[in-house]
Copies of this chain bind each other. A is one copy, B any other.
Amino acid sequence: MNIEEAIKSTVPLNPHTKTVLNIMYSSRIVEEKVAEMLKPYGLSMQQYNVLRILRGQKGKPANLSTIQERMINKMSNTTRLVDKLIEKEFAERSICESNRRKVEISITHSGLDLLTEIDPLTLAKNNEILKDFSMNELNTLNTLLDKLK
């Protein structure tokens, strides 16, 4: 289905507008599927994203600012997002001794376990979302999207 059909556009779209709408619409479709996969775990996509960033630190704790620059959604309030993860005991926070303005956030054992449980579902979901794409097409899509950055 093309984007004009998807949003039932009554007017023909100029190519650039069409592509911009298509990028946003496609992202919604993907997000919906990922969010649905995470729902049973009570995690929002942003929370899941932060957990994976914390795991990527490989034991080293992360500052709030480090988390922020690695997030998909650079949101304005990472403090409260991390609060949620701490409430659920998937992460913990301490004050950085060498620079007491900073906080050190790290993933807990329970957070790692959760990610280990979700990992195969994420892989399966991503494969499902992109099931109609050849490796070649994935590469082309990535290369084109990279031009936006």
A-side interface residues toward B, CB under 8 Å? Answer: 1-3, 6-11, 14-31, 34, 56-58, 69-74, 122-123, 126-127, 129-130, 132-133, 135, 137-142, 144-149
Instruction: Tell me if B130 and A20 are in contact (CB < 8 A).
Output: yes
5 other A-B residue contacts (CB within 8 Å) besides A1-B146, A2-B149, A132-B147? A14-B123, A18-B142, A22-B146, A26-B149, A27-B28
A19 cross-chain contacts in B, Cβ below 8 A: 126, 130, 133, 138, 141-142
A28-B73, A127-B16, A147-B132 in contact; A141/B9 too (CB < 8 A)?
Answer: no
A10-B56, A15-B138, A146-B3 in contact; A24/B27 too (CB < 8 A)?
Answer: yes
